């Protein structure tokens, strides 16, 4: 991590085998920066793996839910690794490089990705897996004006960098990678380099961020989770398999439906053919509650489902979340009751996604 470079004092939490920054003490400030300006966060705890060898393409094709072998050099595929039960092992970015592939996975899947890669490589004699833990520094800059911050801090033409593409630039005599990827549906950039140069990049981003005519802040997982929910992107820290399968939870964002040769495909087809009797839908309610995960949902006295999870939205000043409901109740515009174990009843209204429209969807780079 870049602890010595942080401007503010971080609050830490734990994910899998490592720690992650939850916030820097002012979630409102961090959220405002993410949704209206730019927010930088340390991704040094991400899992980063180099896959090389004569069978590297074949190996990744067997794991990934999207085709990998036809990726052009510099292009990135955002996909899943599934197990035989079509459960998500990891959400990954796969970058095609000149002689190998780079697999990048967020904090929540770093450990499981490493185990999955190693376990499945045993039948491939010409696959090499290099775990880059501790060898790279990674940061993300996201927000509607993150492009301007990256342009100023790194002196690159951001307008020529398409979504899910990586470019190499030189800083202090070293080549670093800048990728246009993110997690919040705002403009996003992922910067990867050595620990020494990564510190220099972070310092530049902070310096240019303070000059930015828009809001800027360091940030952490608390705001990321809020923003991910606001656009109903999958959150695998919260949307557990205990609630439902990948189809019921509508997590099939990164699956290529005309690809069939990968682990988990047969089970996925079985789920699809059998149909699902439950679906997820967004909801909103008044009040700032602690996470309502697991609480039961009723229509009159009929139990029809559960709260998957919920978070208080600073933008909407309401509790928002995801329900998993029996058919045909998972529709927007309906009112239900959430009955807490304490006996308290909360009126919830279902709503279509996104809860919040990111500014980046309507803002053009200059």
What is the tens place of the pLDDT at every residue in 190-245?
999 998 899 999 999 999 999 999 999 999 999 999 999 999 999 999 998 999 99
C-alpha neighbours within 13 Å on the C-beta side of residue 256:
16
Strands 216-218 and 278-285: unpaired
- What is the model's pLDDT at position 237? 93
Strands 216-218 and 38-42: parallel
With a cut of 90, say whether residue 284 has pLDDT above it.
yes
CATH 2.40.30.110: which residues of the chain?
A: 277-351
- What is the model's pLDDT at position 324? 97
DSSP-based three-state secondary structure for 331: coil
Query: Which long-range CB contacts under 8 A does 67-71 form with residues at least 24 apart?
Result: 67/256, 67/259, 68/94, 68/96, 68/101, 71/96
With a cut of 80, say whether residue 321 has pLDDT above it.
yes
- What is the model's pLDDT at position 55? 97
With a cut of 90, say whether residue 343 has pLDDT above it.
no
- What is the model's pLDDT at position 291? 79
CATH number for the domain whose boundaries are 277-351:
2.40.30.110
Query: In percent, how much of the chain has pLDDT > 90?
Result: 89
For residues 84-113, average pLDDT: 96
- What is the model's pLDDT at position 311? 95
Of 64 and 136, the structure prediction assigns the larger pLDDT to 64
With a cut of 80, say whether residue 16 has pLDDT above it.
no
Average pLDDT taken over every residue of the chain: 95
For residues 340-363, average pLDDT: 94
pTM higher than 0.75? yes
CATH 3.30.1360.120: which residues of the chain?
A: 3-45+134-226
- What is the model's pLDDT at position 270? 96
Query: Which CATH architecture does the domain made up of 3-45+134-226 adopt?
Result: 2-Layer Sandwich (3.30)
């Amino acid at each position: 991590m870049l602890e010595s470079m942080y401007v503010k004092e971080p609050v830490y939490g734990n994910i899998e085998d490592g720690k992650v920054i939850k916030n820097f003490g002012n979630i409102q400030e961090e959220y405002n920066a993410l949704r209206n300006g730019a927010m930088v966060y340390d991704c040094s705890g991400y899992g980063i793996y180099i896959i090389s060898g004569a069978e590297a393409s074949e190996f990744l094709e067997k794991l990934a839910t999207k085709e990998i072998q036809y990726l052009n050099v510099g292009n990135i595929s955002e996909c899943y690794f599934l197990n035989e039960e079509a459960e998500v092992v990891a959400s990954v970015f796969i970058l095609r490089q000149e002689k190998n592939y780079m697999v990048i996975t967020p904090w929540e899947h770093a450990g499981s990705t490493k185990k999955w890669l190693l376990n499945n490589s045993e039948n491939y004699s010409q696959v090499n897996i290099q775990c880059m833990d501790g060898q790279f520094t990674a940061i993300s800059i996201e927000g509607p004006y993150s492009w301007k911050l990256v342009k100023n801090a790194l002196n690159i033409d951001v307008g020529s960098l398409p979504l899910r593409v990586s470019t190499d630039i030189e800083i202090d005599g070293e080549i670093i990678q800048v990728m246009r990827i993110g997690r919040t549906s705002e403009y996003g950039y992922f910067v990867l380099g050595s620990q020494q140069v990564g510190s220099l990049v972070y310092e530049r981003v902070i310096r240019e961020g303070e000059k930015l005519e828009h809001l800027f802040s360091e940030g952490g997982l608390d705001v990321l989770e809020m923003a991910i929910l606001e656009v109903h992107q999958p959150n695998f820290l919260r949307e557990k398999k205990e609630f439902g399968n990948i189809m019921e939870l509508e997590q099939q964002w990164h699956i290529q439906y005309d690809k069939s040769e990968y682990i988990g495909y047969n089970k996925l087809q079985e789920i699809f053919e059998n149909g699902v009797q439950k679906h997820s839908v967004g909801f909103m309610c008044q009040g700032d509650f602690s996470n309502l995960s697991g609480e039961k949902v009723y229509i009159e006295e009929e139990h029809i489902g559960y709260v998957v999870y919920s978070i208080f939205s600073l933008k909407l000043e309401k509790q928002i979340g995801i329900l998993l409901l029996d058919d045909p109740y998972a529709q927007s515009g309906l009112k239900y009751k959430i009955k807490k174990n304490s006996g308290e009843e909360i009126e919830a209204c279902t709503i279509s996604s996104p809860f919040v429209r990111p500014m980046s969807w309507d803002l053009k780079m200059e």
